[in-house]
Every structure is written in structure tokens, then in C-alpha cells.
Structure 1
Amino acid sequence: MAKCPYNRMKKQKTQNKKQQKGFTVIEMMVAVALFAVVMLVSAGALISLTTANRKAQALQSVMNNLNVTLDSMVRSMRAGSTFHCGPGGSLSLPQDCSNGNTYFAFESHGGSSLTTTDQHVYSFVPPTGSANGYIQRSEDGGATWVRITAPEISITDMQFYVVGTTRGDTVQPKAVIEVRGVAGGLNTKLTSTFHIQATAVQRILDL
């Protein structure tokens, strides 16, 4: 008995529908997989950018602290007198150091040159092991000290160059500060090296 052409066509349509349905599911699976991969890559990139931005902001904050510290040092030195470079000799007497030193003292604004324990002093403490180097300040001639740079900064070298402290030499006392270091500290992944110079010229006429 011959098969009905109608039944044959109906069966073929049913098979085509099944094939089309299976192909659509595969397409969806591939599309979902690609979408998931794209989302994972995008999320990873976004997290990396966010982390880098936070670290950059923290690094900028550290550098701002250093700039404020140096600016404060320069302003107080300009208003002072009796520049004394180096730990040797009496701090109440002026002293040059054209070759540089890590120790600088001066008579603060309003201080008395007759008192030997009221000088303001800045000195450099070098890094040791895992400890960062830093700048410290004393307001009592070196009897007590206070750290003035952030813990996130490691000062690797600091020098004061002082000239013109001899009275009557027609040269106004001047101190040049040279600071080298690492922002972010020596034991962190994100760091930035720096080399900064600042100059302080005594405002009081050296007659």
C-alpha cells in the first residue's frame, strides 16, 4: 500500500522542527558562555582599575603629606636665624656646611640667642632593615624628637647645604634641602621614587 504523501510531508516538518529546536538551544548555550566570559573579563578589569585608582589616591595623599612637611620646614627656617648645619659645635652659633649634612638647627622666630636649648632642629633618620627612613624635628635643641613624615614614606637620603652664615660676609644665610625617598614605603607593591629640593633664605638681614 502506497504511503500518503501528506503523512510524509508532515513527518518531514516534524523532523525539521526538532532539528531547528536543537540548533537554537546550542546557539543559546554558546551565547550565554560568551556573555559569561565577557562579563568575567569586564568585572576583572573593573576591579583592577578600582584597586589601582585607590592605590594612586593613597600615593597622592602620601606625596601631599611630604610637600606640606617640606613647606612647613622652609617657612619656619626662613623666619628663623642663626643657621647651624651639623651636630658639632654649639647650636646657638652659626655654622656653614657646603658639603652637606643630615642635621640642621636654627633659632626659631621669637627665640632667644642667649638660650641654648630652644633651637629648632631637623635631622634625618636613615632606613634600617624593614623600617622606613624619616625626618624628625626637635623644638628644644635636640632633647626630644617628633617624627614629621608619614609612615608610608621612606626617606632614603637627606642633606642640608648651608652657606652664608658668617656675619658681615655680604651673603645672606641660605639652606638648600635635598630629599630622596620612596612614596609608599620600601615594603609595598605600589611605590614611587622622588627627589625633591627646596631652598630657605633667612629673611632677617645678616649684618
Structure 2
Amino acid sequence: MQNKIKKINTGRQILNLSKGYTIIETMISVSLFLVIVMAGMGALLNSNLLHQKSRDMRSIMDNLSFIMEDLSKNLRTGYNYHCVDDLSNDFTIPASGEDCFGIAFEHQDGEESDPSDQWVYIIGNDGKIYKSTENAAGSENFVQLTPDEIEIDTTKSGFSVTGAEPPDICEPPTCIPRTVTGNKEQPFVIIRLTGTITSKNTIETPFSLQTSVSQRAIDKR
């Protein structure tokens, strides 16, 4: 900005007096300052929003990872896997299957002779994971594990079980030597979870998890 200079002769020396800023110059300066401040505030708010989203996502993913770890640990130490495709089935009978919406098994501390103590994990029609430690006698026995922010795609998620059926073993003296026929695979489970996480009711983030679990104990039955 250019200042106009006025020279005044006082007799001894010439004084240079400069005028102040005009209103237009002041308005332009203030406007530029406001633009810079608003840009900085926008960047700060956006950074804060991204931080909150990242924190929320991390918390929800930690919850989902904990559920997967809990399920994997219990399956690994359990036995008598049953791929659930119908809640009315007898879960005490080991059964393999593909793309089931749930899995039932005997917990390591359970009694094989007790038909009501199987642990059951299912993916509900509402896209939530539920758990029951009292077989599946009623919906009141199931507890929701996943938070409301997680919605699982039931068409792409599920459980696959192989080798669940016990082998046929013939012991001496009926068979000499001891023979094993039929299914000889170690029970094995594949868990697939695909869906979306909704943060702040507006931001949707897709996720896809898969893990596999093998029964720890040797299938000797």
C-alpha cells in the first residue's frame, strides 16, 4: 500500500507527514486476515474430525478383534463342532458344513453327556454376532457381542467346518491291529466376517476379516 507524503517547511527543516490507511485498505487487510484464519480453523477442525474417526474406528475394531479372539480360543480348546444352519438341530451331534450362519461346540469344561451346555455363536439376521453358553433353547439365552456400529453382511459372512464327524475306530480284540476308518481329518473351522462400521451415524467404513481354527485336542473319538 502506498502512503502519500506531504512535506511541510517549518523554517528549520522539512517534515514528512504520511497519511494513515484508508477504509478500503483496512477492509482488504481484515478480509485477508479472516480468510487465513478461516482456512486454518477449517484445517484444524478437519484434522480433529479425522482423529475422532480414527479413534472410534480403532475402538470398534478392537472390539471386533476381541470377539474373534474369544471365539477362536474357545473353539480351539473345545470339541464336537457343529456347523449351525438351523437352530432346531441337535447340536450335540458333530456336523461339518459350508457357509453356516453359526457354530456350536462343547466347551472344554462342558459335559459331553449334557445336551444343554453347548456354546453357540451365530450371526443374526440383523447383522450382529450373538453368543449363548446354554445351547440354543431360546433367544433369551443369546447375548449380543458386536456393538450397534458394526453391521455384518450375512451374505458374505459365515462359518465353514470340516472334519467334525468322529472317525470310526475298531479296537482289539474286534480288530487286530486297531483300525481307523471314515473321517480322519482333524476338526477345522474357517470364520469369515465382512461388513461395515458406521461412525457418527454418517461415515461407513468396510471391513473384511477371516481366520481359521483347528481343534487343539487330537480327534480320537
Q: What's the TM-score, normalizing by structure 1?
A: 0.83
More helix by share: 1
- Percent identity, please: 28
Does structure 2 conserve the Cα–Cα contact (< 8 Å) formed by 1:126 and 1:156?
Answer: no
Q: 2: distance between equivalents of 1:89 and 1:117? A: 13
Q: 1: distance between equivalents of 2:102 and 2:57? A: 28
- Cα distance, 1:31 vs. partner? 2.5
- Cα distance, 1:177 vs. partner? 0.6
Residues 151-166 of structure 1: matches in 2 within 5 Å? 151-157=148-154, 158-166=157-165
Q: Which residue of structure 1 lines up, in the alignment, with residue 196 of structure 2?
A: 182
Residues 90-109 of structure 1: matches in 2 within 5 Å? 90-97=90-97, 99-109=98-108
Residues 39-78 of structure 1: matches in 2 within 5 Å? 39-78=37-76
More strand by share: 2
Q: How many aligned residue pairs are there?
A: 189
* Aligned Cα root-mean-square deviation (Å): 2.3
Q: Which residue of structure 1 lines up, in the alignment, with residue 185 of structure 2?
A: 171
Q: Which residue of structure 2 lines up, in the alignment, with residue 150 of structure 1?
A: 147
Q: Secondary structure at the match of 1:184?
A: strand
Q: Secondary structure at the match of 1:191?
A: strand
Give CA-to-partner distance per residue, 1:166-193, whole Å, 9 cap, x none.
22222100111111111126x8222211
- Gap regions ≥5 residues in structure 2: 1-6, 168-182
Q: 2: distance between equivalents of 1:190 and 1:60? A: 14
Q: 2: distance between equivalents of 1:113 and 1:182? A: 37
Give CA-to-partner distance per residue, 1:38-68, whole Å, 9 cap, x none.
0111112211211221122111111111011
Q: What's the TM-score, normalizing by structure 2?
A: 0.78
Q: Which residue of structure 2 lines up, in the alignment, with residue 139 of structure 1?
A: 133
Give CA-to-partner distance per residue, 1:18-54, whole Å, 9 cap, x none.
xx41446654443332112101111122112112211
* Runs of 4+, deviation exceeding 3 Å: 8-11, 22-29
